[in-house]
Amino acid sequence: MESQIGIKLYFCAMMGHKTRKTLLITLFLALSSGALFAQEHPRVLFVGNSYTQVNDLPQMIADIAQSMGEDMEYRSNTPGGCTFEMHCHNQSMMWICEGGWDVVVMQEQSQLPAFPMDSVEMYVFPFAQQLVDSIYAHNPCAEPMFFMTWGRKNGDTEFGYPPMDTYEGMDSLLYARYMQMGEDNDASVCPVGRVWHYLRDHNAEIELYMMDESHPSLAGSYAAACAFYTMIFGRDPNNISHNAGLDETAARAIRSAAHEVVFDSLWRWQRPSPKADFVVDSVDYLNVRFASKAKLYEEQEWFFGDGESQQTNDTMLWHTFPEGGIYLVRQVVSRHCMADTVWQLIRVEAPSVGIAEGNNLSAISISPNPAEDEVVLHMPEGMVAEVVLYGIDGREIWRKEMGNPCNTIALQGFPSGIYVLKVVTPQGTVLRRLAKR
């Protein structure tokens, strides 16, 4: 059972401008590959104390999964009264650093998160962050999951902190603190305390507590197990057939509560997935600027439908298309192995090409292409043009007036990559894509 000595010491120490668009967007498609939170054959590490150890909660979850034709491999470290700070320095941290976990469940000592905020900020939040940081460092695709516990049956008057004196007061504090830990640390929260709250309101005949009015009874642990099964596997708990030794009426009511609280609002309890989104911001002939509206991502990759792609976390991105036409542009954003993708099918309108005194502007050419140190711009005899060189980001590099049939353009010192040469004449404009080796 949980030791109170260290907890009392903690408490006593702390009391006291957008441009004109010329691009025609013909179709928008979106696909969310998203974060598939439901696990298959997950490896789960349980980090907690007696609230997790009593009735062997991890094994109960595994038994439920097995009865549903699923497997869960687990390991647990649950010494009585253990806090997050202690777990940062014991076997739990060693196992976290071994890696290979799909889910790591973290349960703080039952009273600490309900203490005054200055105490929680000193003795809870930093160690919750340390645990989650270690999880992501050694298990990049793992899902950290906080175990939201419950208020004591009649509150906790032991410390003389009035908000903890009643069940409602203590439970609301635990709810708020665990939700903050989930939000602050990009982690999920299994709302066991909310399932208990629902059962207390709707099925008061089900005794969730042991005689100490703190630890879970068999029914209380079963409620926690149904909540965790729903979070880890993403399945409807109403379909569970395993009763863990409870009578069918009570087990069915508990599964229904887990359905109402957890399954029907999974989005509320799961860490948010990245969201891909972008718009076409501006166009300069074949140079198109995209504005990323993506959220909650760490990495962003673009595929332009012309064989080119680019990885960048910039919110503004220029791309030069080789010619007019229809392109399927795709943006992929990801974070912690969760990903989301959107597509836009766009039409790039090439500039009009005219005729100059019988000379076809299409005769304008550049060679060699790809080029190394220099490239020659060929124009019809007598043609005068303003020539502008753009980088792949759409920025102008230089411009110059040219009027010879053969015009040499030096490329020394330019980085390798794709450039666009714009040739502007009174009769029309020509764009040529230039590759620099």
Residue 13, pLDDT score: 42
Residue 107, pLDDT score: 98
Nearest to 390 by CA among 279, 288, 304, 282: 288
> In this structure, which CATH number among 3.40.50.1110, 2.60.40.420, 1.10.10.10, 3.30.70.1400 belongs to the domain 38-269?
3.40.50.1110
CATH topology of domain 278-348: Immunoglobulin-like (2.60.40)
CA distance 20 to 437: 33
pLDDT digits (tens, 9 = 90+) for 90-141: 999 999 999 999 999 999 999 999 999 999 999 999 999 999 999 999 999 9
First-to-final CA distance of the chain: 70
pLDDT digits (tens, 9 = 90+) for 361-383: 778 889 998 899 999 999 888 88
CA distance 406 to 165: 89
* Whether the domain at 278-348 and the domain at 356-436 fall into the same CATH topology: yes
Residue 12, pLDDT score: 43
Query: Tokens in use for 216?
Result: 């879970």
The residues spanned by each domain of the chain are 38-269, 278-348, 356-436
CATH topology of domain 356-436: Immunoglobulin-like (2.60.40)
Nearest to 263 by CA among 235, 243, 221: 235
Residue 103, pLDDT score: 98
> If pLDDT is split at 50, 70 and 90, which confidence band does 174 have?
very high
Burial of 418 (0-12, 13-18, 19+ CB in 10 A): middle
Helix (H) or strand (E) holding 182: helix 167-184
Residue 356, pLDDT score: 41
